[in-house]
Amino acid sequence: MKTIHVVAAIIEKDGRVLATQRGYGDFKGGWEFPGGKVEPGETEEQALVREIHEELDARIVVDRHLCTVDYDYETFHLHMSCYLCSLAEEHIDLIEHTQARWLDAATIDSVDWLPADISVVEALKDQVL
Ligand SMILES: Nc1nc2c([nH]c(=O)n2[C@H]2C[C@H](O)[C@@H](COP(=O)(O)OP(=O)(O)OP(=O)(O)O)O2)c(=O)[nH]1
């Protein structure tokens, strides 16, 4: 099975994290952390900064690695590295996503997370929120 290497940015602000809803593709409607595929020659941090600029028109600071998830979807294997990040400036714009929500410990389970994200949410509850 094909493996895809993805990075996800868990953007934190005031005890909450940013969740975004996918606007296109097979997982349309599912909730995730913004990010995307690492391109050849890029480090994970470079990919994160590029993806967040493309998807949210935002600049981030990458603070630390939280966890790496390996998950078998039906048609591919996902290898996803998740980093805690903060916004370098307040502004965000939803360029590819349909909605965004800032979620805290009480609301983190209120959205329909993509299957691979369930364990990331558990790590957040244990360590961050
Ligand atoms: N960004 C992101 N992708 C996730 C998460 N959870 C999860 O299963 N995925 C999956 C969905 C996609 O199959 C894959 C990410 O690929 P993508 O299609 O968004 O990557 P990309 O932005 O480079 O997109 P593209 O140019 O290929 O359209 O990872 C998550 O929390 N964030």
Q: Is 35 in the pocket of ligand 1 (CB under 6 A)?
A: yes
Q: Which atom of ligand 1 is nearest to the CA of 39?
A: 23
Q: Is 102 in the pocket of ligand 1 (CB under 6 A)?
A: no
Q: How confident is the model at residue 2, as a pLDDT?
A: 97
Show pLDDT as tens, one digit a residue, over the chain (129 residues).
Answer: 999 999 999 999 999 999 999 999 999 999 999 999 999 999 999 999 999 999 999 999 999 999 999 999 999 999 999 999 999 999 999 999 999 999 999 999 999 999 999 999 999 999 999
Q: Which amino acid is at 96?
A: E
Task: Render pLDDT for 65-77 as a digit per residue (tens, 0 to 9).
Answer: 999 999 999 999 9
Nearest CA to ligand 1 atom 16: 36
Give the Cα separation of 38 and 13 in Å (integer).
25
Q: What value of ipTM does the predicted structure carry?
A: 0.95
- Asked: is 3-127 a CATH 3.40.50.2000 domain? The reply is no
Q: Which atom of ligand 1 is nearest to the CA of 51?
A: 22
Q: Is 32 in the pocket of ligand 1 (CB under 6 A)?
A: yes
Give the Cα separation of 105 and 66 in Å (integer).
16
The alpha carbon dihedral of 45, 50, 56, 60 has a sign of positive
Q: How confident is the model at residue 67, as a pLDDT?
A: 98
pTM for this entry: 0.96
The separation between CA 18 and the C-alpha centre of its own chain, rounded to angstroms, equals 8
Give the Cα separation of 102 and 81 in Å (integer).
21
Residue of 1, 26, 37, 75 to mutate, ligand 1, most atoms within 8 A of C-beta: 37
For tokens 């979620």, the residue is 103
Q: Is 121 in the pocket of ligand 1 (CB under 6 A)?
A: no
In the chain, where are the structural domains located?
Answer: 3-127
Q: How confident is the model at residue 18, as a pLDDT?
A: 98
Give the Cα separation of 41 and 47 in Å (integer).
10
Q: Which atom of ligand 1 is nearest to the CA of 33?
A: 31
